[in-house]
Structure 1
Amino acid sequence: MVTKKPLFAWVKESNVKLQLLLLAVIGVTVAARVFPLEMQKKIINEAISLKQVELLVLYSGLYLASVLLASGLKYVITLLQTSIGERALQKMRQQLFEHILTLPLSFFRKTSAGTVIASLVQELTAAGEFVGAAIAIPVTNILTLVSFAAYMFYLSPTMAAISLALYPVLIFLLPPLQRRTNNWNKARVESTRVLSNKISESIGGIHEIHGNGSFHIESRKYFRYLQDLYRIRITWTLYRQGVKVLNNLFQSTGPFLLFLVGGWLAINGRFDLGALVAFLSAYEKIYDPWKELMDFYQVYQDAKIRYAKTMEAFDVEPEFILQPADARAKQDLAGAIEIKNLVFEVEGGIRLLNGIDMSLANGEHLALVGFSGSGKSTLAQCMGQLYKYTGGSVQIDGREVADLPKSDVAHNMGYVAQAPFIFDGTIQENLLYGVEADLPLEAPRDAQGRITDPALLPSLDRMIEVVQQTGIFQDVLRFGLNTILAPEQGAQAELRNKIIAIRQDFRNDHGPELADHLEFFEEGRYLEHSSVAANLIFGHPVKPEYAVENLAKSSFFTKFLGDAQLRLPLLTLGDELARQTVDILGELPEDALFFEQSPILPEELERWKEYVARGRVTLAQLPREEQDQLLEVALRFTPGRHKMAPFSRLLEALVLEGRSRFRAALEAHDPGAVSFYRADGYIDSQPILDNILFGKAKTDQPHVMERIQQAIVMLLIEQDMLEAVVAIGMQFRVGTKGDRLSGGQKQKLAIARAFMKEPPILIMDEATSALDNRSQSRIQNLIETKWKGRSTLVAVVHRLDIIKNFDQVAVMKAGKIVEQGSYADLMAKKGSLYELVHGAQQH
């Protein structure tokens, strides 16, 4: 198990070839670092003393070459140790993550997500860095230190002995100081983990914090944790820096002795000048490997502590066997369940389940009902091997669930939780999640882990069938219709052409009947239900400066308005709209409802009151800022919705004339800035739905939009395009935790995910609690028609009106089954179920 591995095991397991190459490079590097010292001595004693320029150039060149070689090899060593360290860190994280995923659910009730994240992302980093440096730094620096020391003894044994005598003293003083540093480092790691837990808790409970306005309470708690961490980090840093100060002190003391003793020897002719310079250089350089060794020692101590604390936190055995020991194929089970005297006990001796007995034949359906806290979900989870029961027996086809490999259980069982988790990715990836998990590990996959053999996965028809059955089909279709296609290529080009063809059919077949609800885009027609700006542009802005809200600030657009003789008419329209709005709505509350018939926003009213109060003015003489504001109001004006002022036929004609001029001018000035509407062209920046409509709905009322969508669906079916659009919808990205889906959509997708496996056993733990009555009834009818007699079903049910057709109903109370039988029999007995049903009806 990965948590049992000592830190040095990762060093042994690292790449042998890279380690051997590293040792070879280190050997050459050490020689290249010592060689310049000898060149220093020769330059002074031979080249300079003998005044030999040739020797000076030779020795200086050799000195420079060795320095450059040592620097280059140092870079190579850094690359090699980084590669070794990062590979080791990758393996650590991967193996620990795989281990964490197998830990019991009870472990995650006591361990926050913040702890897991901090451990995997932060705490293991130091261990990875240590593994990368475990050979390079000690070997390089010990060899360098020994080489420099040997060279110093070669130059002068007396001076070498004196200068190196300080290091044993340092070795004696460092360990006690380092032990204190380690203790405070442990406290720092633990305090950081506690702080991470607190942050994770606050983010997880953010709804409660906002709901109760308890920002100050959580802030005070957080500050207390910060204070503890501050105190610990200050003390830890003081001890850590104390080690460095001690090192620096001894390093600074050495030259004093060398100058004193070496100078005396040189004065008395017992030590030549070249040797003294070389010795001083050697002593100065010997500190570098010593310092690196001391730094490495601290890195090792830090890595050892953080690694040990991390592995200790996750040193828990999985509750169940993951894979069969004999590597056999997964076993198919029929689904008969037998439970005898089942007990589930948690810490403190509390029994959540106590003496449960029941049996289900293959294909039977069981409803678990009871009050909240009665143990319904716990029983279902024990059957599904999510929790390991502490007593009694649960058997499937005569095999003990606790002894079954997890792979066999997952192969034969589909589980849907009340609050299902939807993973970041596409609808299709989530839909096929259980199917892919059940595939052999050796199944062919690409670099991203996607299955490359389509024959191993369900067909698109099968996926569509399941999403239709579970009621999420309309959502997937809508996702597809609202998709903006990628740049034109291959199959996408063919799809675009088909969409343009459907656009024409939609206009021809449904245009007359939808004329009251939909305004189609026509080159020579003014769009009453679009703004003046939208009529001028007659396209979809690609660049933000051409968006409707930004047009009034665009120098190109305002110049175009002047050239097209539109500026003054639009200023006049804006002025009229401002005055009419102030006159009619000036004394009313600033409610959005009152402003639906004006392009002026409620928050702008005060500004326009001040404008109107100044009386009539010459518009062309207004400050540029006010002119832009009037233009903005006029450009927002939508004749079909805003009734504050009339829209003259003259201005309409000017806008239509300006439409073609604007297109020509913009295509010359900034091609591609706007996707212009063309009856025979695909609008790249618009979704599929808008490309088919090629128009704008006059209202956003649900029944109108539903009628339009029904017409489009019929055309998609006729053109054999429905599957293609649904396939696109399957690629809709659901966001982190499925946050782009509603609660009901998440439950439907989770149910579809379980149904895709077609398992012999289904466990549904209040799986439809977020669905409306119609959707719940749909799922229940599907279960009764498709799955009864085919799969054994255990359903934790919160709605008692849907349990009548279950084969068995078990009523639970305080961890026990108080009665069990068919719905009719239990109601006839007028026992616990009868009380539950009639109690629910009364409420």
Structure 2
Amino acid sequence: MSLNFFSYVWHHSRREQLIVLIFVVASLPFYWWSLDVPKRIVNEAIQGNVFKHGEAGARLFDYSLSLPDFLGGATWQITDGLLLAQVPYLFALSMVFLVLTLINGWFKYVINIRKGVLGERMLRRLRFELFELVMRFRPEDVRTTKSAEVTSMIKDEVEPIGGFFGEAFITPAFLGTQAITAMAFILAQNMWLGTLSLSLILVQGVVIPYLRREQIRLGRMRQIESRRLAGRIGEMIDAAPALHVFGVALYSAAEIGQRLGTLFHIRLQLYRRKFAVKFLNNLLSQLTPFIFYTLGGYLALKGRLDIGQLVAVIAAYRDLPGPIKELIDWDQQRADVTVKYEQVVGAFYKDTLLPPDPVREPEPIPRDAPITIVGLRVMNGRGLVQIDRMSAAIGRPGRVALVGAAGSGRDILPKVLGRQITDYQGSVTIGGHEVGAMSDREASAVMLYASGEPFIMSGSIRDNLCLALRRALPVPDEPKDADARYWREEALATNNPIVSPDADWIDYHASGLSGPADLDAAIIQALRTVRGYDDIFRVGLTSKLGDDLGEDLAERLLGARGAIYARYEQLGLASYVETFQPERFNANATIGENLLFGVSIGKRFEAEKLAHDPFVRSIIAAEALVAPLTNIGLKMVETVAEAFQGLAADNPLRERYSFIDEAELSELWPQLQGTWQRGQRRQFSPELRDKLVGYALMYVEPRHRLSLIDEHLVARVLRARGSFRDFLPAKDAGEIEFYDPERLMPAATIRDNLLFGRIRYGKMHARDKLLDAAHAVLDELGLESFVVSKGLEQDAGPGGRLLSVQQRVTVHLARALLRQPDILILDDALSSFGASEAHMIMENIFEAMAGRTVIVAQSNDDDLDAFDLVLTFEGAKLAGAERKGSPSGTQAQEGRPVAPVREPQPQEAVK
């Protein structure tokens, strides 16, 4: 990108700029006539100068064309005009003035619209180019870049620059020509008035920009400080968990407060300077009208200037300060915007960028092309050598282990091979292609890098798994309607991609898939390989069923309910589940669930809001449940208040009563104690009673074990269940879905639909046994993929925050295997798993990557028998290389080669 603002604007928008400039030039004659007509209205129509000699009428719109005397002085009459009396003459000139005003207004409208569209297009182009630049930053530069600052620059700091794109050439041309036209008109009316106004305007044009230099400097400081503030706030938000752990919120607040104070001080100085300059500018602007009224009036009284001329001069000058002031403002904005542009583009300007992705698919690199490392030397930002003059050749395909202590070359070489470090000396090539100089598309076509700290994008789990596959080059669809043509033309005008992100970007061929129908099966297989399938399946079971089911699928799911119970009977697990039955109280469900006997569709009948709903309160009162439920809630609060004192944070009892918040309890408990002391234990306020009833509605006897449910309470709850269903207003029928053994419940989870009940508390490993049996049945019925697809649609959260660390790693590994890369580089990727789990995942990866290359960073204690080649590092140096299967191995010292895997003879080193 050009560092010169005007060069950038002219390069990308000169055609549109010239079109608008044509409109500007075309508007000038109409502007001149609009200045001249008021003079004619006053002198000719009102004062009647053309009727002074007794004429009854005067001609208007009579135009002729005459040649100069030296060309013969011939005259051609174009039109004789209209012969009008004084009053019609006045009205005709007034109509001319109105028409000219409308024409000038139309020109301004067209110019401003085209100017605005031009500015918005250039802003879109600039933002996209900045985004493209930051996506080509080297990994080293990305790690030192604050994402909040980059976001602030692309989103906010370029906004005023975008507003100036349309102003860059058009505004000075438009306003300048208008000011010159008005000034020329004033000089044509009276030389003295014109000279004086021109002198004041020149003073205004020189003094004001000079005074605004400090204003520009302060504006630059404000921009830099605002960017730093955004970056620091972004850092603190990312580090919020650590700040909470250390309890340093007050220090963080003090730091942000100081930064805000600095920004306030700069902005205060800026406003003082701004309004001082504005005051002076307004003062100079008003001096000229003062001179016109004084000197012009004097000349008119002396007969040296007629009234029409004075009115025309005043009218012309009335329009003059606007363009002059806007030109001065434009000059200030020019200086401000060019500085901002240079700062923003300079922040994105790097000496070295990754090469852009090629438009066409790169030529494939042969699978047996070796990885050749010659004289590799890597230093960090502090000058510490991390790999020192390493030379080696790694044959492909094969399994390669990089072994050494933490922090040694074994942690650095995977990052070099995986292009996480591109600033190195020496050469690292694959099939003759320098790794650090390859584009992302070229490198990712042959290898993928996976670390133990993967980044998961916001979106569904499926989106994240398919992310690695979205590298096809879809052919843009031809626009089918005017709206599609508009979007395409605008994208082309701003050099934005014309292919929609909604197109099918998945590269099925490179992933070994025949088409979209194979994708789900490939995803399931990849998840099984990295042992993440069970997690996704369980997530799917806890997903809402939804109402977008086909008739056949709904029938199969309903049939699966019976098949699962039959399997439970066969395995002796049926007693582990208490099903929902209309005439029975489900002891393993909450009192609230038993009362509703259904699933809340909206938010009205959610468990937390149940006790506060007027209709539910009326049902509870009608069935005399207020007092017993209040007592249950009171007993629960008493138990929690007594039991939580001195209880460890990880005690299961806290989880059992997790719906009673400790902060809420500390406020509630003193109120209850105060009631007892006044001897009014049952005289609770309505708010307090509703809170206690709400706790009672979440009570489950087998879980909370306070022996608070008896036969009388059960009978009342069952009566209340019937009343709730019978008296529920028709307008609220859509708020709840009642349990029905013959129907599915779209608002309930898949698990609740399949089990149609609650798993009994107190049964050892009951949940795992039941889910495994249900899994087997769903697999037999061909419904497993449906459950998995529901799990894949769940949101991963920003940065994968809704997933555990292990789930994030399994998603990352699964999407890498989906791509089926020729080279898979695992840089401590399994560190979040236990030793046995990591070993099983590694074996599965080796099996899935058979015939291809896997490079793994290992510790000295790991089992290395499965590897074909082991590179051992001692600090920054390659201490040796052992090719498995040879009697003594092949040792590689500094300057010696490492024998390529699968090669019988070692190659000589390249120095």
Separation (CA, whole Å) in 2 of partners of 1:497 and 1:217? 60
Separation (CA, whole Å) in 2 of partners of 1:586 and 1:111? 49
Report Cα offsets for 1:515-568 as digits up to 9, x if no partner: 433221222222222233322211122333322332332222333445xx40x2
Q: How big is the shift at 1:267?
A: 0.9
Question: Which of 133, 138, 155 is the matching residue for 1:99?
Answer: 133
Question: Which of 451, 470, 483 is the matching residue for 1:417?
Answer: 451
Q: For residue 429 of structure 1, give the secondary structure of its aligned residue in structure 2.
A: helix
Q: How big is the shift at 1:52?
A: 5.5
Separation (CA, whole Å) in 2 of partners of 1:205 and 1:549? 31
Q: How is 1:683-698 mapped onto 2 (pairs within 5 angstroms)?
A: 683-698=745-760
Residue 573 of structure 1 corresponds to 628
Q: How is 1:406-555 mapped onto 2 (pairs within 5 angstroms)?
A: 406-437=440-471, 439-440=472-473, 447-451=500-504, 455-456=508-509, 458=513, 459=518, 460-488=520-548, 492=550, 494-510=552-568, 513-555=572-614
- The letter of the residue matching 1:559 is S
- The letter of the residue matching 1:573 is P
Residue 765 of structure 2 corresponds to 703
Q: How is 1:577-616 mapped onto 2 (pairs within 5 angstroms)?
A: 577=632, 590=645, 603=665, 604-611=668-675
Residue 89 of structure 1 corresponds to 123
Q: For residue 269 of structure 1, give the secondary structure of its aligned residue in structure 2.
A: coil
Figure out how many residues of one structure are paired with residues of the other and give that number.
Answer: 820
Residue 8 of structure 1 corresponds to 7
Residues 882 and 890, structure 2, Cα contact 8 Å, conserved in 1: no
1:110 and 1:655, CA in 2 relative to 1: closer, same or farther beyond 3 A?
closer
Q: For residue 447 of structure 1, give the secondary structure of its aligned residue in structure 2.
A: coil
Unaligned runs of 5+ in 2: 49-84, 478-497, 894-911
Question: Which of 791, 795, 798 is the matching residue for 2:856?
Answer: 795
Separation (CA, whole Å) in 2 of partners of 1:721 and 1:203? 42
Q: How big is the shift at 1:702?
A: 8.2
Question: Which of 792, 810, 818 is the matching residue for 1:730?
Answer: 792
Question: Which of 833, 837, 855 is the matching residue for 1:771?
Answer: 833
Q: Could you tell which deviates more after superposition, 334-343 or 246-255?
A: 334-343
Separation (CA, whole Å) in 2 of partners of 1:403 and 1:212? 43
1:612 and 1:510, CA in 2 relative to 1: closer, same or farther beyond 3 A?
farther
1:524 and 1:15, CA in 2 relative to 1: closer, same or farther beyond 3 A?
farther
Q: How is 1:579-728 mapped onto 2 (pairs within 5 angstroms)?
A: 590=645, 603=665, 604-611=668-675, 624-625=686-687, 628=690, 631-632=693-694, 634-641=696-703, 644=706, 647-699=709-761, 703-728=765-790
Residues 3 and 314, structure 1, Cα contact 8 Å, conserved in 2: no
Residues 423 and 430, structure 1, Cα contact 8 Å, conserved in 2: yes
- The letter of the residue matching 1:528 is A
Residue 836 of structure 1 corresponds to none
Residues 846 and 854, structure 2, Cα contact 8 Å, conserved in 1: no
Residue 301 of structure 1 corresponds to 335
For normalisation by structure 2, the TM-score amounts to 0.81
Q: For residue 801 of structure 1, give the secondary structure of its aligned residue in structure 2.
A: coil
Separation (CA, whole Å) in 2 of partners of 1:810 and 1:53? 104
Question: Which of 391, 407, 415 is the matching residue for 1:357?
Answer: 391
- The letter of the residue matching 2:7 is F
Q: How is 1:51-200 mapped onto 2 (pairs within 5 angstroms)?
A: 54-55=88-89, 57-67=91-101, 70-71=104-105, 73-200=107-234
Separation (CA, whole Å) in 2 of partners of 1:128 and 1:339? 47
Q: For residue 390 of structure 2, give the secondary structure of its aligned residue in structure 1.
A: strand
Q: How is 1:225-236 mapped onto 2 (pairs within 5 angstroms)?
A: 225-236=259-270
Q: For residue 737 of structure 2, give the secondary structure of its aligned residue in structure 1.
A: strand
Q: For residue 368 of structure 1, give the secondary structure of its aligned residue in structure 2.
A: strand
Q: How big is the shift at 1:413?
A: 0.7
Separation (CA, whole Å) in 2 of partners of 1:454 and 1:818? 41
Separation (CA, whole Å) in 1 of partners of 2:465 and 2:769? 29
Q: How is 1:256-267 mapped onto 2 (pairs within 5 angstroms)?
A: 256-267=290-301
Q: How is 1:13-24 mapped onto 2 (pairs within 5 angstroms)?
A: 13-14=12-13, 16=15, 18-19=16-17, 22-23=20-21
1:545 and 1:15, CA in 2 relative to 1: closer, same or farther beyond 3 A?
farther
Separation (CA, whole Å) in 2 of partners of 1:363 and 1:829? 18
Matched, 1:805 2:866: yes
1:721 and 1:454, CA in 2 relative to 1: closer, same or farther beyond 3 A?
farther
- The letter of the residue matching 1:14 is S
- Structure number having the greater helix percentage: 1
Residues 475 and 499, structure 2, Cα contact 8 Å, conserved in 1: no
Matched, 1:782 2:837: no
Question: Which of 811, 816, 820 is the matching residue for 2:877?
Answer: 816
Separation (CA, whole Å) in 1 of partners of 2:441 and 2:734? 54
Q: How big is the shift at 1:411?
A: 0.9
Residues 330 and 411, structure 1, Cα contact 8 Å, conserved in 2: yes
Report Cα offsets for 1:485-521 as digits up to 9, x if no partner: 5543xx5554334322322332344268444332212
Give the alignment's Cα RMSD to 1 decimal. Answer: 3.7
Q: Could you tell which deviates more after superposition, 496-505 or 708-717?
A: 496-505
Q: How big is the shift at 1:257?
A: 1.1
- The letter of the residue matching 1:741 is L
Separation (CA, whole Å) in 2 of partners of 1:633 and 1:402? 62
Q: How big is the shift at 1:802?
A: 3.2
Residues 403 and 410, structure 2, Cα contact 8 Å, conserved in 1: yes
Unaligned runs of 5+ in 1: 833-843
Separation (CA, whole Å) in 2 of partners of 1:805 and 1:494? 48
Q: How big is the shift at 1:608?
A: 4.0
Separation (CA, whole Å) in 2 of partners of 1:167 and 1:579? 83
Question: Which of 296, 301, 314 is the matching residue for 1:280?
Answer: 314
- The letter of the residue matching 1:787 is M
Residues 447 and 825, structure 2, Cα contact 8 Å, conserved in 1: yes
Q: Could you tell which deviates more after superposition, 37-46 or 151-160?
A: 37-46
Report Cα offsets for 1:431-475 as digits up to 9, x if no partner: 2323323x3475889622541678556422122111111111112
Report Cα offsets for 1:11-60 as digits up to 9, x if no partner: 441283x5455445545665665555445444444554469654555555
1:662 and 1:406, CA in 2 relative to 1: closer, same or farther beyond 3 A?
closer
- The letter of the residue matching 2:727 is A
Separation (CA, whole Å) in 2 of partners of 1:494 and 1:799? 56
Separation (CA, whole Å) in 1 of partners of 2:706 and 2:102? 81
Residues 4 and 315, structure 1, Cα contact 8 Å, conserved in 2: no
Residues 598 and 637, structure 1, Cα contact 8 Å, conserved in 2: no
Residues 330 and 407, structure 1, Cα contact 8 Å, conserved in 2: no
For normalisation by structure 1, the TM-score amounts to 0.87
Residues 577 and 644, structure 1, Cα contact 8 Å, conserved in 2: no
Residues 447 and 821, structure 2, Cα contact 8 Å, conserved in 1: yes
1:204 and 1:167, CA in 2 relative to 1: closer, same or farther beyond 3 A?
same
Report Cα offsets for 1:740-789 as digits up to 9, x if no partner: 1111111112212222222222211111011223430122212343435x
Report Cα offsets for 1:572-610 as digits up to 9, x if no partner: 313553676689888665569779699988824554445
- The letter of the residue matching 2:8 is A
Separation (CA, whole Å) in 2 of partners of 1:334 and 1:400? 16
Report Cα offsets for 1:60-83 as digits up to 9, x if no partner: 555455545545554443332222
Separation (CA, whole Å) in 1 of partners of 2:762 and 2:170? 69
Separation (CA, whole Å) in 1 of partners of 2:762 and 2:796? 25
1:705 and 1:392, CA in 2 relative to 1: closer, same or farther beyond 3 A?
same
Q: How is 1:192-341 mapped onto 2 (pairs within 5 angstroms)?
A: 192-318=226-352, 320-323=354-357, 329-341=363-375
Q: For residue 420 of structure 1, give the secondary structure of its aligned residue in structure 2.
A: coil
Report Cα offsets for 1:355-380 as digits up to 9, x if no partner: 21322222222211222221222212
Q: For residue 445 of structure 2, give the secondary structure of its aligned residue in structure 1.
A: helix
Q: How big is the shift at 1:401?
A: 3.4
Q: For residue 672 of structure 1, give the secondary structure of its aligned residue in structure 2.
A: helix
